[in-house]
Amino acid sequence: MIARAATWWTVLRISLEERLVYRGDFALGTLMRFLPIVTQIFLWAAVFSAIQTSGAENQRIVGYSYRNMIAYYLLTMLSRAFSSMPGLASGIARDIRDGTVKKYLIQPIDMLGFLLLYRVAHKLVYYVVALAPFALVFYLCRGFFDGWPDAFTISAFLASLVLAFLLGFFMEATIGMLGFWFLEINSLLFVYMLFNFFFSGHMFPIDMLPGVGGSLVRLIPLQYLAYFPAAVFLGKLSGAELVRALWLELAWVAFFMAASRVVFSRGTRRYSGYGG
């Protein structure tokens, strides 16, 4: 047990050190990622000013005031910092294709566990380095927020972020391991990224989607990757509704955790490694 914990600790430490090599690049990259927010702020200011002039009674868009809307975009940046998994699925598929995946099969180490720890290390370093740019941007944009929500909402928000990380990880890992069957999953991944971008709430709050499409999008788990944590912070859900949504998110995490295990065991059974 202790030996095992030591192994995992070593994996985490090595990954941490590896990530810290590129810290300068990281910090600059993080700050640059906020630039598109600037255009979003102006775009929504223009949209809301037009709504105001048109004399519409309700100067909100599906319950979002201008300030809410900007706060929403800032918060989705935070959710994405937890849920996005750059290179995870494509990396797994590449390992399967070029045979690197063999190392997980012959070494006494669990692939999903290793990748999860690697990702945790990646994220931890990211938060340490990105803390300053995030703090700066949120401080500059504090006027868009109505102050801190209560402790219950904050804990729910933090829980939703951790769950978003786990959901993002297991969902992408599952997709990546479909490479055991298809070898090349780029097109599939593209579809996933496209849907992820638009229907996770990264592009706009998904409550804006009307009709059947809107209801459908609210059924699929993508919303937990960007929309949900932001909506929790902004108090769009509360009380029993919020707790129920968190349970549902946990269920999705459990589902994809199980799915990734099933896909892994089925996949390795049909995997054939050739050459050295």
Partner 1 sequence: MTQHPRYLRVFLTFARNSLVRDMTFRANFIIETISSLSWVLMNLGFYTLIFHYTPEIGSNTGWEKYQFFVFLATGLLINSLVQALFMTNADDLSELVRTGTLDFALLKPIDTQFLVSLVRIDWSSLGNFVLGLLLLAYSLAKLHYLPGLLEWVLYPCYVLCGVAIYYSLMIALASTSVWLGRNLTLFDFWFYITNFSRYPMEIYEGRFGTPLRRFFTFLIPVLVVVNVPARLLVAPLRPHAPEDWLLPGFAIFATVASLAASRWVFQRALLSYRSASS
Among the candidate windows 107-115, 154-162, 195-203, 255-263, which touches partner 1 by CB under 8 A? 195-203
Contact with partner 1 (CB under 8 A): which of 49, 107, 155, 215? Answer: 49
The least CB distance from residue 143 to partner 1, in Å, is: 12
The least CB distance from residue 221 to partner 1, in Å, is: 19
Q: Is the dihedral of CA 108, 112, 113, 114 positive or negative?
A: positive
Interacting residues of 225 by C-beta distance below 8 A, sequence separation 6+: 79, 80, 83, 84, 164, 167, 168, 196, 200, 201, 202
Contact with partner 1 (CB under 8 A): which of 134, 204, 224, 227? Answer: 204
CB distance 247 to 224 below 8 Å: no
The C-alpha atoms of residue 5 and residue 2 are separated, in whole angstroms, by 5
The least CB distance from residue 149 to partner 1, in Å, is: 26
Contact with partner 1 (CB under 8 A): which of 1, 4, 39, 274? Answer: 39
Other C-beta atoms closer than 10 Å to the C-beta of 163 total: 21
The C-alpha atoms of residue 245 and residue 75 are separated, in whole angstroms, by 18
Among the candidate windows 108-116, 145-153, 190-198, 235-243, which touches partner 1 by CB under 8 A? 190-198
Contact with partner 1 (CB under 8 A): which of 4, 187, 212, 275? Answer: 187
Other C-beta atoms closer than 10 Å to the C-beta of 259 total: 16
Is 182 a residue that touches partner 1 (CB under 8 A)? no
| Minimum CB distance to partner 1 smaller for 57 or for 265 | 57
Contact with partner 1 (CB under 8 A): which of 6, 14, 20, 50? Answer: 50
Contact with partner 1 (CB under 8 A): which of 6, 21, 45, 135? Answer: 45
The tokens 């349970």 sit on which residue?
247
- Supply the DSSP string of 189-231, one letter for each residue: HHHHHHHHHHHSSSSS-GGG--HHHHHHHHHSGGGGGTHHHHH
| Minimum CB distance to partner 1 smaller for 45 or for 243 | 45
Is 42 a residue that touches partner 1 (CB under 8 A)? yes
Contact with partner 1 (CB under 8 A): which of 38, 131, 251, 262? Answer: 38
Binding residues among 18-37 for partner 1 as defined by CB under 8 A: 25, 32, 35-36
Contact with partner 1 (CB under 8 A): which of 203, 218, 250, 255? Answer: 203
Interacting residues of 275 by C-beta distance below 8 A, sequence separation 6+: 99
Binding residues among 58-87 for partner 1 as defined by CB under 8 A: 61-62
Contact with partner 1 (CB under 8 A): which of 209, 217, 234, 253? Answer: 209
Interacting residues of 2 by C-beta distance below 8 A, sequence separation 6+: none
Tell which residue, 130, 138, 142, has the closest CA to residue 31. 130
The C-alpha atoms of residue 246 and residue 226 are separated, in whole angstroms, by 14
Binding positions for partner 1, rule: CB under 8 A: 25, 32, 35-36, 38-39, 42-43, 45-54, 61-62, 187, 190, 194, 197-198, 203-204, 208-210
